[in-house]
Chain A
Amino acid sequence: MDEKRLVKKAQSGDFDAFGQLIEKHKAKIYGLALKMTGNDQDAEDIVSDTLMKAIDNIDQFRGDAAFGSWLYSIALNEARKHLGHEKRKDLKPIEEYLPNKGGDHNHDTADLFDWKDPHELLEQEELRGIIDEAIAELPIIYREAFLLRYFEEMSVKEVAEVLNESEAATKSRILRARVALRDKLSKVFEEQYDKKLREISG
């Protein structure tokens, strides 16, 4: 049954139709909430509050956006509530993540650290902790754009729809988040690599 018919049936009181509408989204929303907050309990609360809100407001869903986008918008509002007010912070412009910005540099020599395989450098649990911390350090507006794009595998257009932003602004947030995350991870991996080298050289 197509989404529009399911929505109509749900709006007239059919719980099974509502169940079908949320089925493919609920685990994903839980996963997103877990990534956003880094906390099992918060993720549980966010997914249940989101679905409860969806029941409260199902009559107001007019089908202008996809049902999934509407659900994700609710979920992000709930996630923002759990994350609370963060001090207003922004990411650096992306050019500032480049070493020797604007300088004349020999192309053949790398200034950037080449990660190789981080799994060889760190244990799985330690690596996961570093990744979660790096994600948590991103300001919320960047974190949500990045995770919707790559964790939820939405197109830029879909992310923009969920965030109610222009595609250009959304694209910029996703890029800045990705570059900032890369930079953070790179610093940690380089430190780990140097530490290993020191250990080996005794």
Chain B
Amino acid sequence: MTKNCEKFLGELSDYVDGEIDPELCAEIEEHLCECENCRIMVDTLKKTVKLCCGEKCEELPKKLDKKLNNMLREKWEKKFSDRS
């Protein structure tokens, strides 16, 4: 690892996410062409997010959803009936 790797490490995550200004992006890409470590760093930073956050929760378990709806409605009715 060199001073350049240290300099770029703070930027590699933004680079992976495509959130970096074009000038810095070009500098990083030039560095990546000659640095195997940083190429691995970029690849594994990308895989880290994919592995840790790839499986999304699209919906609540049905039983929980039903239970929640009942609880929330009951609480709602109590709150607003206390007001009137």
Chain A interface residues (CB < 8 Å from chain B): 13, 15, 18-19, 26-28, 30-31, 34-35, 44, 47-48, 51-52, 55-56, 94-95, 97-105, 107-115, 118, 127, 131, 134-135, 146-147, 150-151, 174-175, 178-179, 181-182, 185-186
Contacts and interface: CB of A to CB of B under 8 A. Distances in A.
A189 to B, nearest CB: 9
Contacts of A182: 41, 44-45, 48
A112 B44 contact: yes
Nearest to A12: B80
B23 interface: no
Contacts, number: 126
B55 to A, nearest CB: 8
Contact of B52 (A48, A95, A114, A131): A131
Contacts of B5: 98
A28 B75 contact: no
Contacts of A104: 2
B29 interface: no
Contacts of B59: 27
Given A30-B57, A174-B13, A150 B72 contact: no
A185 B52 CA distance: 10
Contacts of B21: none
A110 B49 contact: no
A107 B2 contact: yes
B1 A52 contact: no
27 contacts: A15-B72, A19-B72, A26-B60, A28-B57, A31-B57, A51-B68, A55-B75, A56-B79, A98-B37, A103-B1, A105-B37, A107-B2, A107-B34, A111-B37, A112-B41, A114-B40, A115-B47, A127-B51, A131-B51, A135-B52, A146-B52, A151-B53, A175-B10, A179-B45, A182-B45, A185-B51, A186-B44
